[in-house]
């Protein structure tokens, strides 16, 4: 890392910084510029040393050279990771489509959804059984009963079940029914939960927090990988910005940016990313064109009567049309879908 | 709530919306404007009905009239809530000062910190035993050993212990040693944790998430209040914006805004709110002038050797000077501190 | 518009609001809800009445029903506007490609750029002669000399020249050489400039300000349209958010959102939207898939030696490859490019 | 500046970067780390060299060491600048209060406002004659007639007139009547306008753009200073963030942050910073406590009938009460007001 000293720092104080850096087991290298002196600390680790140096009164700023994540990086593993469960294949040139309702509401609703999304080309089924809701007065999900219905839908259709787990003590229960454990955006930095799914023997779909930086996102993945679970897919679902015409702002540049830095596959969630059903199909096609490894899309047999997220849910018909467009783009660009 | 129909919606479709609203147990009231028709739905509840209506294809938007929170609102309880533990008193005209290191590091460090902040006027002691860290490679806290040291510091100084609890299964353990349970910013929407502290018999300091709206913040408090725990203080600690010269952007207008809407007291965290030690003292004074009911400030006996957050920690001397300025402002404006 | 009264407002005060609304030439309609009274004001205009009502002490908030823009709206003109100059055609199913260097630097540089982008399929040539630069110490452009070189490049290649005008007094000069007047992001709300290009007999490319809402963006277009100039294309070039890994955050959902609300065509600028050359080609393809009517891309014969924006400029070779991908997507989805 | 090479860059390529840096007249210094090589470039200028290096394909990132502004910096001038016109004194321990209506509406309105704000302690009078309005349909100001009324108000009260100039060609006209030329937030990067006021013989109040970084803000000031005009005050008026409960988010930490970096005085605008009249008085007091050198506050004799910004305007009575609180804080902290 590079330690930039304040303007006018004396040689004695620069020497003190050199001593400090060396006491941390690093090599110090002083560069005297025309207006500032900087000290390069060689042998940088990823353990938060940086903060310590920044608190010295003669230090203007500390600039890290290395990315803070390691196991998730392309440098650690150059070939892309593929998350694969049943027929759902995300990454390595294959685009995996996960679709279904926001919440599991009833046997009919989830079965009807599963059949419809399968017919349109999905290989994964989404559906919330444990629902994180902003208000304590909103529907909180069918819980274990919902998980059972999801498993029944898988048994009939062969779709891989992707569903959210909200707290460490539920991991075992959810893993009993699900094929992919989803970590919701609100829990991206719930470290006990990340460690718990890191120990589970299930693939994980990790959603980006609405104000998480890319480094924070990859460090959250690192918590999971660090426990030995390598089946991790990242999900960009939009970030919170000043824009209010959409529910979130969906930055598709995350796809190529992440692909340069990590071997983990990238899934896009255009439903939460926009919050408006009519914007979802063009953003599905755009995601494919940007190089996404998968999509997760909210589809409901009857959006106006959905118990949650109706405004951003596609009808089965609209979803099928969107998938047709996506397939055309995928074929044009040489991806499998 | 007000349902705004799309331009050119037929009378028959407006009537269908009226039927739908009435089927939800609400009264519908149609207003035909010059360019749009709107339907007012009277008898609005706080259970998410709104989303449902928004998904109808003839609906342009749905505007809620009521705030989504209830128990936390000024309308539900007009007199201000005071959070009071030992000598720490937050609210009702009293300003409570909580100070101490980011992390508990050793017996000497926490005792020295406790004595110093008490001497400067604090009545609460902060210190992390369980630390949520962005990187899995950073120091994660002393855990139960840290809690014991905090309790020992309380025994010696009489300061109320404020410390973070990160996961529901730790609530009992942390509550054994702490006087105030802190919910960190990353966990503001960890609903199982909110419910768990809602059931505990301890005061709670709830930090605002870095991208939480005011409604989301108050609904998070509502999850705690809803379990019967009324001893809740809100903590503004800065939001994530495009500004990078400070760690977060600290919006002090939150203080008067929240005071108009809720009876809960408001604490400001200028340490995380700025991330730079030299900016903390003026922001302490500004918080008092804005009407804050409390402050939570990072103070470390030796910031350059702190194991976390050194760059934003005050020395005991700088903290004492900051408290002197705060007291002058408080006295000038008639607050107790 | 809907005026929401504060909780507990007396009938007399509601009546005063009714009188006030009627004095503005609107019809008032009172709806008494269970917890709040709201007054609907029928006959809403777009002249800022709303602010006035919001300042009454008994008013909680005022909700506008109509969009604030009019001439730019789909309701005012249902068929899409096409901006067409020479062979550059933006909108109505045709995708117009504008490419070239950030700044005009020399005759060789602009001619070489023009030939290269034309060969790759562009029909418009970008290049800055008057450069708005954040620092007064940066290269400010070749000014009129640059305009002449652009015109010479058009004469040789037939490409339509798109270049920025920064201040009203330059409009005449720039219009002498350019085919499309570009309003830069920093000037989106420079109203005297908008009016000046509104009076010019040239097409306009209006860039979105980095923190402009969609309503503000369309109202800026409205300033131009209002002067009688109908040849306006909107350009999404990314917004400023907390993300720092890219120069700006590029929200492609702007494309379908704007298409629902306005008849004006939408161009995407993935160069400024990302700031990183390697991210530009996938975002070009994604823009086409999202339904964009055009692209504006920075291309330089020798990016490492560019006088500005080198980091986000494509080489001619990379640009040609990106255009190939775009054409595949456009063909797959049935657009002309 | 520090050039961080990509991981695995060959020695030959590092040497090429060294040659490139030396060809720019800088000295290069290579540091070989454990995972990366960095090249320090000594003799950094402020002319945009950085961008050029960043576009080399072997470069991961370029980190500038120096702040990009120079004349505005504390390093260039250590003693604080005081902006002083008539009795208005901003900086150097004196707090200058500017108050008045958003727009000049009539002789009575501006005179009544001027008398009221003077009685409450203001020494500057604000009032818009040329109004930048988001919508072309809103009131655009009284123009020269408004300037004359402002001058008449100054003649009667002795208050210094602070008013906005929107375009270079109006600078002469506005300077004829005004004492301080205000650059509005929308025009912070209108460089021709900055240069024009830089050449005028009048003090300037430069408002921060709603998404301007601190570096951009200080570089905008640098454009003015660079023309020889040293009478510049900076005005923080709030930034655009995801927060919608206030009109903008007002970051008071800007005050101590800017004071560390620049000698220019800092004025706070809590009216635009919050957009809600009831939040203005506490934010006035908080600004003083944060160390602000001045305030600019919207005051209107009859806010509900104001032609613009009524919702954020104080009545003369509320303003007088706010000034009383501010004076108490100023006295407690030893500032002149």
pLDDT per position as a tens digit, C1-19: 889 998 889 999 999 999 9
pLDDT, residue B221, reads 98
Helix (H) or strand (E) holding D42: strand D37-42
Q: Which residue of B has its CA nearest to D241?
A: B241
Identify all chain D residues contacting A40, using CB atoms and an 8 Å cutoff: 31, 33, 38, 40
pLDDT tier, D264 (very low <50, low <70, confident <90, very high otherwise): very high
Least confident of A219-228, C28-37, C143-152, C325-334: C28-37
pLDDT tens, residue by residue, A188-203: 999 999 999 999 999 9
* Mean pLDDT score, C292-301: 97
**Residues paired with A268 in a beta bridge:** A236, A295
User: How many CB atoms are closer than 10 A to CB B264?
Assistant: 30
Which residue's structure tokens are 């920025």? C164
CB atoms within 10 A of CB B153: 26
- With 90 as the cut, is the pLDDT of residue A25 above it? no
**Mutating which of A24, A31, A46 best tests the D interface, going by the most D Cβ atoms within 10 A?**
A31
What would the two tokens of residue B59 be?
A: 């609906």
Looking at residue D57, its pLDDT comes to 81
> How confident is the model at residue A300, as a pLDDT?
96
Of B226, B222, B242, B172, the closest CA to residue B202 belongs to B172
D335 contact C CB<8A: no
Per-residue model confidence as pLDDT tens digits over C231-256: 999 999 999 999 999 999 999 999 99
Q: Does the beta-carbon distance from D169 to C168 stay under 8 Å?
A: yes
CB contact under 8 A, C290 and A288: no
* Selected residue of D38, D209, D215 to mutate for chain A interface (largest A Cβ count, 10 A): D38
Which of C4, C34, C75 shows the shortest C-beta gap to B42?
C34
Mutate to test the interface with C, among A208, A248, A252, A332 (most CBs of C within 10 A): A252
pLDDT at B49 over 70: no
Instruction: Give the whole-angstrom CA distance, residue B149 versus residue D132.
Output: 59
Tell the burial category of B17 from Cβ atoms under 10 Å away from its Cβ (0-12, 13-18, 19+). buried
- Shortest distance, CA D49 to any CA of chain C (angstroms): 8
Distance set, CA A245 to CA A242, A275, C81 (Å): 9, 9, 23
- Residue A41 pairs in a beta bridge with A28
Model confidence band, residue C51 (pLDDT cutoffs 50, 70, 90): low
β-strand partners of D164: D182
Across the range C89-98, mean pLDDT stands at 97
- Taking the Cβ of residue C45 and every Cβ of chain B, the question of whether any pair is shorter than 8 Å is answered with no
Cross-chain Cβ contact B169/A169 below 8 Å: yes
Q: Of A35-49, A161-175, C189-203, which gets the smallest average pLDDT? A: A35-49
Place of tokens 């003109």: C77
For C63-107, the DSSP string reads: E--S-S--TTBTTT--SPP-EEETTEEEBTTB-EEEEE-SB---H
Question: Residue B33 is nearest to which of C33, C65, C244, comparing CB atoms?
Answer: C65
ipTM of predicted assembly, 2 dp: 0.95
Of B31, B35, B43, the CB nearest to C40: B31
State residue D178 phi and psi, 5-degree precision.
-90, 160
Distance to chain B for A142, nearest Cα, Å:
16
Query: What is residue C66's predicted lDDT score, i.e. its pLDDT?
Result: 83
* Nearest CB partner across the interface for C136, out of D52, D222, D240: D222
Q: How many CB pairs below 8 Å do chains C and D form together?
A: 140
pLDDT-based confidence at residue A35 (cuts at 50, 70, 90): confident
Contacts of B155 (CB under 8 A, 6+ apart): none
Which of A247-256, C142-151, D33-42 has the lowest average pLDDT?
D33-42
Asked if B93 is an interface residue toward chain D (Cβ–Cβ < 8 A), one would say no
Q: Which of residues 50-89 of B touch A (CB under 8 A)?
A: 51-56, 68-69
Q: Which of A274, A278, A290 sits opposite C282 (nearest CB)?
A: A290
- CA-nearest residue to C245 within chain B is B242
**Tens digits of per-residue pLDDT, A282-312?**
999 999 999 999 999 999 999 988 888 888 9
Chain-chain contact of D68 with C223 (C-beta, under 8 angstroms):
no
Report the pLDDT value the prediction gives residue B47, as an integer from 0 to 100. 66
User: CA-CA distance, C238 to C254, in Å (whole number)?
Assistant: 10
pLDDT at residue C49 tops 70: no
pLDDT band at C184, cuts 50/70/90? very high
Among the listed ranges B149-153, B217-221, D68-72, D308-312, which one has the minimum average pLDDT value? D308-312
| D132/C48 Cβ within 8 A | no
CA distance C84 to C88: 6
Tokens 């290069």, located at residue? D28
pLDDT at D100: 98
Does position A221 have pLDDT exceeding 90, yes or no? Answer: yes
pLDDT at D60 over 90: no
Name the band, by pLDDT with cuts 50, 70 and 90, for residue A116.
very high
B2–C241: do the CB atoms touch at under 8 Å? no
Chain C: partners with 3+ C-beta pairs within 8 Å:
A, B, D
> What's the pLDDT score for residue C64?
84
Please write the tens of the pLDDT for every residue from B220-230: 999 999 999 99
Nearest CA in chain C to B7: C75
Mutate to test the interface with C, among A239, A262, A272, A289 (most CBs of C within 10 A): A289
Q: What is the per-residue pLDDT across A38-84, written as a single tens digit (0 to 9) for each? A: 998 888 777 666 667 887 888 888 888 888 899 999 989 999 999 99
Quick check: A36 and D75 CB within 8 A? Answer: no
In a 3-state reduction of DSSP, which class is residue A250?
A: coil
Distances (CA, A) of C101 to A72, B178, C141: 36, 62, 12
The full 3-state SS of D252-273, as one line of letters, equals CCHHHHHHHHECCCEEECHHHH
Strand C180-183 versus strand C160-164 pairing type: parallel
Task: Compute φ and ψ for C39, nearest 5 degrees.
Answer: -120, 120
Residue of A31, A42, A240 with shortest CB distance to D33:
A42
Place B54 in a pLDDT band, splitting at 50, 70 and 90: confident
Provide, rounded to the nearest whole percent, the portion of chain C with pLDDT above 90.
79
3 state SS of B295:
strand
State whether residue A260 sits within 8 Å of chain D by CB: no
The residue among B31, B46, B70, B215 with the most chain C CBs within 10 A of its CB, best to mutate, is B31
Considering only CB atoms, A166 lies closest to which of B191, B226, B311, namely B191
The model's pTM is 0.96
Quick check: D217 contacting C, CB < 8 Å? Answer: no
Which residues from chain D sit within 8 angstroms of residue A240, using beta carbons? Answer: 242
- Domains in chain B, start-ordered, CATH in brackets? 2-63 (3.30.70.1140), 83-333 (3.20.20.70)
| Interface-testing mutation among C247, C258, C280, C289, with chain A (most A C-beta atoms within 10 A) | C289
| Distance separating alpha carbons of residues C184 and C170, to the nearest angstrom | 14
What is the structure's pLDDT at C306?
Answer: 85
CB interface of B with A, residues 19-38, below 8 Å: 20
Encode A239-262: b = buried (16+ Cβ within 10 Å), e = exposed: bbbbbebbbbbbbbbbbbbbbebb
* Interchain CB contact of A98 with C (< 8 Å): no
Q: Is residue A90 scored above 80 in pLDDT?
A: yes
Tell me which chain C residue has its CA closest to the CA of residue A327: C332
Q: Do C2 and B2 touch (CB under 8 A)?
A: yes
Q: Which residue of chain A comes nearest to B226, CA vs CA?
A: A136
Closest-CA residue to B33 (of B7, B12, B71): B7
Q: How far apart are CA D111 and CA D159, in angstroms?
A: 11
Q: Distance of CA B237 to CAs A108, B183, B255, Å?
A: 46, 12, 11
C-alpha D66/C-alpha B220 separation (Å) is: 43
Res D289 pLDDT > 70: yes
pLDDT at position A54 is: 80
Mutate to test the interface with C, among B24, B30, B34, B245 (most CBs of C within 10 A): B34
Q: Average pLDDT, stretch B107-116? A: 98
B205-211: average pLDDT: 98
- The closest CB to that of B132, out of A45, A69, A189, belongs to A189
Query: Is D324 in CB contact (< 8 Å) with chain B?
Result: no
Do B210 and C242 meet the contact criterion of CB atoms below 8 Å apart? no
For residue B331, which residues of chain D lie inside 8 Å, CB to CB?
A: 332
What value does the mean pLDDT take over residues D7-36? Answer: 89
Structure tokens given for D34: 């454990």
Under 8 Å between Cβ of D124 and D96? yes
| Mean pLDDT confidence for A168-194 | 97
CB contact under 8 A, B36 and C66: yes
Measured between beta carbons, which residues in chain C are less than 8 angstroms from residue D136?
191, 219, 222-223, 226
Residues A2-24 have a mean pLDDT of 90
Nearest to C101 by CA among C329, C307, C334: C307
What mean pLDDT do residues B241-252 have? 97
* Confidence at residue A128, expressed as pLDDT on a 0 to 100 scale: 97
Quote the mean pLDDT of chain D: 94
pLDDT in the model for residue B155: 98
Q: Do residue C31 and residue B44 have CB atoms under 8 angstroms apart?
A: no
Mean of the pLDDT values across residues C104-119? 98
Q: Which residue in the set D245, D252, D289 is minimally distant from B214, CB to CB?
A: D245
């Amino acid at each position: 890392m590079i330690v930039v000293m304040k303007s006018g720092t004396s040689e004695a104080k620069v020497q003190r910084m050199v001593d400090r850096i060396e006491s941390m087991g690093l090599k110090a290298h002083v560069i005297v510029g025309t207006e500032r002196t900087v000290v390069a600390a060689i042998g940088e680790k990823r353990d938060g040393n940086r903060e310590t140096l920044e608190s010295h009164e003669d230090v203007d700023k500390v600039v890290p050279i290395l990315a803070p994540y390691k196991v998730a990086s392309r440098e650690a593993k150059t070939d892309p990771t593929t998350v694969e469960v049943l027929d759902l294949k995300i990454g390595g040139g294959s685009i995996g489509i996960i679709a279904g309702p926001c919440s599991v509401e009833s046997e009919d609703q989830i079965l009807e959804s599963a059949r419809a999304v399968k017919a349109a080309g999905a290989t994964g089924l989404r559906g919330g059984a444990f629902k994180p809701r902003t208000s304590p007065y909103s529907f909180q999900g069918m819980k274990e009963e919902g998980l059972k219905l999801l498993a029944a839908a898988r048994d009939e259709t062969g779709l891989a079940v992707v569903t959210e787990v909200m707290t460490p003590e539920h991991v075992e229960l959810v893993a009993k029914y699900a094929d992919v454990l989803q970590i919701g955006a609100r829990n991206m930095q719930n470290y006990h939960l990340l460690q718990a799914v890191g120990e589970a023997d299930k693939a994980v779909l990790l959603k980006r927090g609405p104000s998480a930086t890319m480094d924070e996102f990859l460090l959250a993945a690192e918590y999971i990988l660090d426990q030995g679970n390598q089946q991790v897919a990242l999900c960009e679902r939009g970030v919170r910005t000043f824009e209010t015409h959409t529910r979130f702002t969906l930055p598709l540049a995350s796809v190529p940016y992440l692909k340069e830095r990590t071997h983990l596959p990238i899934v896009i969630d255009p439903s939460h990313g926009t919050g408006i059903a009519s914007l979802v199909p063009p953003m599905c096609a755009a995601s494919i064109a940007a190089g996404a490894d998968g999509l997760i899309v909210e589809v409901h047999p009857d959006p106006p009567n959905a118990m949650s997220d109706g405004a951003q849910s596609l009808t089965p018909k609209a979803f099928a049309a969107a998938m047709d467009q996506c397939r055309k783009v995928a074929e044009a660009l040489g991806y499998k879908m």
